[in-house]
Amino acid sequence: MAILPGSTIGVLGGGQLGRMFAIAARKMGYRVHTFSPDRDTPTGQVADVEIVAPYEDLDAVRAFAREVAAVTFEFENVPAATAAAASEFAPVRPSGAVLHVTQNRLREKGFLAEHGFPVAPFAPVRSPADLALALVSIGCPAVLKTAGWGYDGKGQAVIRRADEASEAWATLGLASVGAETGAEAILEAFVDFSLELSVVAARGEDGAFVSWGALENHHARHILDLTVAPARVLPEVAARAVELAREILQALDVVGVLCVELFLGRDGRLLVNELAPRPHNSGHLTFDAAATSQFEQQLRAVCGLPLGSTELYRPAAMANLLGDLWAAGEPDWAAALSFPEVKLHLYGKVEARPGRKMGHLTALGGTADEAAALALAARSALARKTSGGSR
């Protein structure tokens, strides 16, 4: 049975993804409750109710779930026990099983490999001895990653020569723990890719599938910097990326939104890098550029409603705004908004720190190239010096 407007949806997590979900939900007449350990969060600022409690407080989680019609995520690093407790009183979408697979790189890569999806060679690593053996089988260069709790390049180190293994192990904070205390990492072959792509997709309770096509991503300091839609790749590459996403969402039995991050190798092959069981930074441009945003689509899927059109009105680009932009004072918002086809989104975060995602700009253009250039030009204008001094 569909969960209709007027109902209350619960969100685990309080970040910007939940904020944009709450905005989409309230536009459609839903109420939103958010649960996270923090107060005055980006989600909490626009939700109807903000519950502040640790994810490990399962009694608080159960009380939260009793008050909502369904629960979804904006943050995948929620303990499995939290999802299980919530599911006692409300449907959790995507399910706790999806969360369990995707919040651990070893489980995720194992699932993908077991189901025949293309991934880079990998090996589990639980001790320095495991790492030495894995480097023999996989070779160098390789990337050592913590199995859990990593994002935006955190929890990983590149090993270019075998003698760098000890340093990489220590860099990830694994030197003081061993297999007996649960240290868990994954070693992956270094992929020589030409481009990073993502497919943000949604799947309904009835198995219906939609996506916004292949999105082109560019990173700086391991953090997403610019997304361009549609991706500037061959049509057959874009079609294969979407088909991989369709097959992955089906294999996981996803109800909700999930992002598939991919590498496009220099040989033209696609490899699945990571999965995110929620709306994704690369899909933010859909808020302004598509008939249905990723956040409205998440709501539709979670509520058992028909999925909306993912048609792009025009080519679009999204440029992230990191806390670094505030180093010389408040950015020049008027300068960025002097570009009439640029939209500004700020997340309500009080403290601007280097590398912290504070907002983004979306630009629409006649072509993907034009949209990308507009987004970058508007962001550059934010830090431009004026006659009044540095802004």
- Banded model confidence at residue 150, pLDDT cuts 50, 70, 90: low
- Which pLDDT value is given to residue 151? 60
CA dihedral of 103, 106, 108, 110, whole degrees rounded to 10: -160
Q: Is residue 68 part of a domain?
A: yes
Please, what is the angle between helix 16-27 and helix 294-302, to 10°? 70
Strand 156-159 relative to strand 142-146, pairing: antiparallel
- Which pLDDT value is given to residue 172? 84
234 and 165 housed in the same domain: no
Q: Is residue 387 part of a domain?
A: no
- Which pLDDT value is given to residue 149? 65
Task: Take residue 116 and report the two structure tokens written for it.
Answer: 């025949």
Q: Is residue 164 part of a domain?
A: yes
- What percent of the chain is modeled with pLDDT above 70? 94
Q: Give me the count of residues in the chain.
A: 391
254 and 276 housed in the same domain: yes
Mean pLDDT score of the chain: 93
- Banded model confidence at residue 175, pLDDT cuts 50, 70, 90: low
Closest CA to 166 of 132, 213, 115, 142: 132
Closest CA to 241 of 276, 218, 279, 273: 273
339 and 248 housed in the same domain: yes
Find the CATH number of the domain harbouring 156.
Answer: 3.30.1490.20
Question: Counting runs of H as helices and runs of E as strands, what totals does the chain give?
Answer: 12, 17
Find the CATH number of the domain harbouring 269.
Answer: 3.30.470.20
Q: Is residue 116 part of a domain?
A: no
Q: How far apart are CA 149 and CA 227, in angstroms?
A: 24
153 and 199 housed in the same domain: no
State mean pLDDT over 172-188. 67
Q: Is residue 109 part of a domain?
A: no
226 and 269 housed in the same domain: yes
343 and 208 housed in the same domain: yes
- Which pLDDT value is given to residue 138? 96
- Which pLDDT value is given to residue 177? 44
206 and 354 housed in the same domain: yes
DSSP letter string, 225-281: EEEEES-SS-HHHHHHHHHHHHHHHHHHT--EEEEEEEEEETTS-EEEEEEESS--G
- Banded model confidence at residue 183, pLDDT cuts 50, 70, 90: confident
- Which pLDDT value is given to residue 385? 52
- Domain housing 245: 193-382
- Structure confidence by residue, pLDDT tens digits, 200-225: 999 999 999 999 999 999 999 889 99
The total of structural domains in the chain comes to 3
213 and 177 housed in the same domain: no
- Structure confidence by residue, pLDDT tens digits, 70-100: 999 998 889 989 999 999 999 999 999 999 9
Q: How far apart are CA 243 and CA 247, in angstroms?
A: 6
Q: Is residue 359 part of a domain?
A: yes
- Structure confidence by residue, pLDDT tens digits, 226-274: 999 999 999 999 999 999 999 999 999 999 999 999 999 999 999 999 9
Total-model pTM: 0.94
- Which pLDDT value is given to residue 225? 98
Distances (CA, A) of 19 to 16, 25, 123: 5, 10, 37
- Banded model confidence at residue 181, pLDDT cuts 50, 70, 90: very low
Cβ count within 10 A of residue 161: 9
Chain CA centroid to CA 373, Å: 24
